[in-house]
A = this chain, B = another copy of it.
Amino acid sequence: MTRSLQEEKVFKDPVHKYIYVQDQTIWDLINTKEFQRLRRIRQLGTCFVTFHGAEHSRFSHSLGVYEVTRKIISQFERNQYEDWPREERLLSLCAALLHDVGHGPFSHSIEKTFGTHHEDWSCRIVLGETEINRVLKQVSPTFPEQVAGVICKTYHKEIVVSLVSSQLDADRMDYLLRDAYFTGVNYGTFDLERILRIIRPFQGHIVVKESGMHAVEDYLMSRYQMYWQVYFHPVTRSAEIILQKVFGRAKHLYEENYEFSFMLPPLLSLFRKTLTVQEYHMLDEAFMQTVLAQWSTEQDPILSDLCSRFLNRRLFKYVKLEQLDIKQLEKLRVVMQDAGIDPTFYMEIDFPSDLSYDVYRPGEHDENLPILLLDQHDQLTEISQKSEIIRSISGIHKGQYHLYFPEELLQVDRSTIPTELRNLLDAED
Chain A contact residues, CB within 8 Å of chain B:
8, 10-15, 17-18, 31, 33, 36, 39-40, 48, 51-53, 55-57, 59-60, 63, 79, 181-187, 189-191, 193, 197, 211, 214, 217-218, 221, 224-225, 228-229, 264, 282, 284-290, 293-294, 308, 311-313, 376, 388-389, 391-393, 395-397, 427-429
Contact assessment for B187 and A191 in the assembled complex, using a CB-CB cutoff below 8 Å: yes
Q: Which of B10, B285, B389 contacts A389 (CB 8 A)?
A: B389
Q: Which of B63, B79, B389 contacts A396 (CB 8 A)?
A: B389
Q: Which of B187, B389, B392, B428 contacts A376 (CB 8 A)?
A: B428
Contacts of A12 in B (CB 8 A): 51, 53, 183-185
Interface of A is mostly: helix
Contact assessment for A312 and B33 in the assembled complex, using a CB-CB cutoff below 8 Å: yes
Contacts of A285 in B (CB 8 A): 286
Contact assessment for B287 and A53 in the assembled complex, using a CB-CB cutoff below 8 Å: no
15 A-B contact pairs sorted by A residue (CB < 8 Å): A10-B197, A13-B52, A14-B182, A33-B312, A52-B59, A53-B56, A55-B56, A186-B191, A217-B225, A282-B293, A286-B286, A286-B288, A287-B290, A388-B395, A389-B389
Q: Which of B10, B18, B229 contacts A214 (CB 8 A)?
A: B229
Q: Lowest 7 CB-CB distances: which A-B pairs, in order?
A: A14-B184, A392-B392, A286-B289, A290-B290, A33-B312, A286-B286, A388-B396
Of the candidates A17, A288, A293, the one having the most CB atoms from chain B within 10 angstroms of its own CB is A293
Q: Contacts A286-B285, A388-B392, A389-B389: A14 and B53 contacting too (C-beta < 8 A)?
A: yes
Contact assessment for B313 and A52 in the assembled complex, using a CB-CB cutoff below 8 Å: no
Q: How far is B264's CA from A247's CA once the two chains are assembled, in angstroms?
A: 22
Nearest B residue to A17 via CB reads: B193
Q: Contacts A13-B52, A189-B186: A225 and B229 contacting too (C-beta < 8 A)?
A: no
Of the candidates A59, A181, A285, A289, the one having the most CB atoms from chain B within 10 angstroms of its own CB is A289
Contacts of A36 in B (CB 8 A): 311-313
Question: What is the CB-to-nearest-CB distance from A309 to chain B, in angstroms, rounded to a whole number?
Answer: 11
Contact assessment for B14 and A183 in the assembled complex, using a CB-CB cutoff below 8 Å: yes
Q: How far is B31's CA from A379's CA once the two chains are assembled, in angstroms?
A: 34
Nearest B residue to A34 via CB reads: B312
Nearest B residue to A60 via CB reads: B52
Question: What is the CB-to-nearest-CB distance from A375 to chain B, in angstroms, rounded to a whole number?
Answer: 11
Question: What is the CB-to-nearest-CB distance from A145 to chain B, in angstroms, rounded to a whole number?
Answer: 25
Q: Contacts A214-B229, A293-B287, A376-B428: A311 and B181 contacting too (C-beta < 8 A)?
A: no
Q: How far is B222's CA from A389's CA once the two chains are assembled, in angstroms?
A: 13
Contact assessment for A181 and B14 in the assembled complex, using a CB-CB cutoff below 8 Å: yes
Q: How far is B17's CA from A331's CA once the two chains are assembled, in angstroms?
A: 43
Contacts of A17 in B (CB 8 A): 184, 193
Question: What is the CB-to-nearest-CB distance from A308 to chain B, in angstroms, rounded to a whole number?
Answer: 8
Nearest B residue to A429 via CB reads: B211
Nearest B residue to A230 via CB reads: B12
Q: How far is B217's CA from A288's CA once the two chains are assembled, in angstroms?
A: 38
Contacts of A10 in B (CB 8 A): 197
Nearest B residue to A12 via CB reads: B184
Contact assessment for A214 and B218 in the assembled complex, using a CB-CB cutoff below 8 Å: no
Nearest B residue to A79 via CB reads: B8
Nearest B residue to A288 via CB reads: B286
Q: Contacts A36-B311, A285-B286: A13 and B191 contacting too (C-beta < 8 A)?
A: no
Nearest B residue to A224 via CB reads: B389
Contact assessment for B33 and A311 in the assembled complex, using a CB-CB cutoff below 8 Å: yes
User: Apart from A8-B79, A33-B312, A388-B392, what 17 extra A-B contacts exist at CB < 8 Å?
Assistant: A13-B184, A15-B184, A17-B184, A31-B313, A39-B48, A40-B289, A52-B60, A53-B60, A55-B56, A186-B190, A186-B191, A214-B225, A221-B221, A224-B389, A287-B289, A376-B427, A388-B397
